[in-house]
Amino acid sequence: MDLELDYKDGVLFVRPNGEVDIGVSDELRKVLEDNLEKKLVSHLVFNLSKVSFIDSSGLGVILGRYKKVRKQGGQVSLVAPQPQVRRILALSGLLTILKEYSSEEEAASAGGVRGKRDA
């Protein structure tokens, strides 16, 4: 798995690329925790368009961050999961608590990117 992060106006975009399983979940969790500690994140956006596989270890990372961000009053969104990944998300129940968008732009505007609303 490769990982790309982008932070803009309170939104942290997370773009994993590849398979998200127990082999990489600890590393992903650590990177996200570091970022959530150092940055003011009001909206965490997981772009799953390049995730080809996810299991409960990967879902646990998403759910754990959801709990944390929600506690701080923020929100977590998912963007464009591939069909096989989406089925896992649906079966886990995560789709009932997380909002799903087709693009990062859509997610960011729905979440209200700070500073952009007035522009």
Distance in angstroms (rounded) separating the CA atoms of residues 49 and 61: 17
List residues binding another protein (CB under 8 A).
19, 21-23, 26, 29, 53, 55-57, 59-61, 63-64, 84, 87-88, 90-92
- Give per-residue burial for 61-73: e unless 16+ CB within 10 Å, then b: bbbebbebbeeee
Least distance from C-beta 110 to another protein, angstroms?
Answer: 25
| CB closer to another protein out of 29 and 99 | 29
CB of 28 to another protein, least distance (A): 11
Q: Are 76 and 101 in contact (CB under 8 A)?
A: no
Quick one: 29 or 50, whose CB is closer to another protein?
Answer: 29
